Amino acid sequence: MRIKSPRPFPKSPLKSFPKSAELLHQLQSGDTLSIRRSILLVVLLSLPTIAAQLSYIIMQYIDAAMVGHLSTTASASIGLISPVTWLFNGLCTALTAGFAVQMAQRFGSRDQKAARSIMKQGLIVGLLFSGVLAIITVALAFVLPTWLGGAPDVRAGSTAYLAIFGVSLFALQMTSMGSSMVQSSGNMKLPSLVSIIMCICDVFFNSLLIFPPTTYSVLGLFSMAWPGANLGVAGASLGTALAEAVGAGIYLWFMLVHSTVLRRRRGEHLRFSRIIVMTAVKISTPVAIENAVTNSAQVVSTRIISPLGTTAIAANAFAVTAESICYQPGFGIGSAATTIVGQSVGAKQKRMARRFVWLSIALGMATMTTAGILMFIFAPQMISMLSPDPVIQDMGGAALRIGAIAEPFFAASIVASAALRGAGDTLASSIFTAGTIWAIRVPLSIIFCPFMGINGYWLASVIQWWVCGALFLWRVKSEVWLKRLDTPRGLKK
């Protein structure tokens, strides 16, 4: 009787599971990925970025919760000036896009040397740009809180917070560039890790800087003295600035020293290329205008909300922070879409670029719609974690439920804009976002807020995002951006 040899154990499915680097290599090589592998690539690149975005939002959530337990005035101090910090943060992000998109396209065409040259030029330009922004921000810190209509007891905290934020813009710019440039090479894991480290550092620094010295009881077994600088609102800004500095240091070390793809090679000298810098300007300018116009509208909206009182300012700021948990996954998927579409363009794969845009939008809308449903259900609990004030909880929870209605179209706007940016199509998307905010949100806020309070502002925002999302979906479907890919910008040597 013949004895059959035992069958070998099957290979673990995890070992045969394709990694994002393998799929990107196939894309760069000109291979057409199947639908399954295309979806897999979008998911693999999105998950680490979503984790990074969520950890950053948790950091903001912790900041808001810590300050929220100081006083309503302290919360209003940050809420009053938040749109201004978003404005300058957006300008830093816009400059990052100009160089990161070019890097993604160069990696797509497998020209790593050119990608490293773009990286070094971008870091130098970012250093100079953030220095100019820092000077402007610190100067504005002493006049904007008054112009925005903040109460006298709110202005001092706003000035301190904005001045410290301005000084930290160098670290913020380097963190932004480091995250996007590393992602453009296909590495999505490091940004996730750095964001988690920054989140931990932010909690640690805030606990030292915001509150006075205190003693904690651990399980009733022993007591532990914890030092504190008792800086209040200024401590929250300084703690975040120090966390950003830690992130910037890690990114610079990784890119310039450690990364086998990005670090400096012998014989590769820094030479500024007029074509690269001008291409960065062409890509960044529409994004910068979009951010400037959009966040200027946010500043004006704050001016509209200010007459409603300190409690309304604080409730609106908490609602914005809570909503960010829903929309930051969209930005994470959008970052992945910028990388994938940019590399598809570099590889001259128009069909794959089209597919990845739609897959990214679908994933973003599904994710944010689900998050919006959960936000609608748990809105009161989300606000209660940020403030113990029952009035703020009621106002913020109602506003948050109105905002939840916008999440599907908000997702379409976020992801489509980022995906089109990877293709170099930035002007139309900038017009859509900035145009709808000024043409719809601001006028409707002026009309609604006197009668509906902050709910009027949130209803105006919902209407604006519905229109904006529809415009983005129309733009993607028209494929005007796709017809321009025969001669993509930024690929000339």
pLDDT digits (tens, 9 = 90+) for 308-350: 888 888 888 888 878 877 877 887 788 778 778 877 877 777 8
| Alpha carbons 80 and 320: distance in angstroms, whole number | 12
Residue ranges of the chain with per-residue pLDDT less than 50: 1-17, 487-493
User: Could you tell me if residue 493 is inside a domain?
Assistant: no
Task: Give the DSSP H or E segment for 270.
Answer: none
Alpha carbon of 9 to those of 6, 111, 289: distances in Å? Answer: 9, 41, 59
pLDDT of res. 420 = 86
- Full-prediction pTM beyond 0.75? no
User: Could you tell me if residue 271 is inside a domain?
Assistant: yes
* Amino acid at the residue 286: P
pLDDT of res. 62 = 73
| Alpha carbons 409 and 423: distance in angstroms, whole number | 21
Which conformational region is residue 309 in: left (phi greater than 0), alpha (psi within -120 to 50 degrees), or beta?
A: left
User: Could you tell me if residue 27 is inside a domain?
Assistant: no
Residue ranges making up the domain that contains 234:
40-486
Q: Which two tokens stand for residue 31?
A: 């291979």
User: Could you tell me if residue 337 is inside a domain?
Assistant: yes
pLDDT of res. 52 = 62
User: Could you tell me if residue 32 is inside a domain?
Assistant: no
| Alpha carbons 386 and 397: distance in angstroms, whole number | 11
Are 165 and 243 contacting, i.e. CB atoms less than 8 angstroms apart?
no
pLDDT of res. 488 = 42
Are 336 and 413 contacting, i.e. CB atoms less than 8 angstroms apart?
no
pLDDT of res. 485 = 58
| Alpha carbons 8 and 492: distance in angstroms, whole number | 52
Are 157 and 143 contacting, i.e. CB atoms less than 8 angstroms apart?
no
User: Could you tell me if residue 7 is inside a domain?
Assistant: no
Are 427 and 484 contacting, i.e. CB atoms less than 8 angstroms apart?
no
Number of domains the chain is built from: 1
Q: Which residues pair with 217 in a beta bridge?
A: 223
Handedness of CA 308, 438, 447, 365 (dihedral sign): negative
pLDDT of res. 60 = 67
User: Could you tell me if residue 25 is inside a domain?
Assistant: no
| Alpha carbons 282 and 99: distance in angstroms, whole number | 10
User: Could you tell me if residue 209 is inside a domain?
Assistant: yes
Are 66 and 236 contacting, i.e. CB atoms less than 8 angstroms apart?
yes
Q: Which two tokens stand for residue 153?
A: 């007891």
Angle, helices 350-384 vs 310-346, to 10°: value is: 160
pLDDT of res. 390 = 87
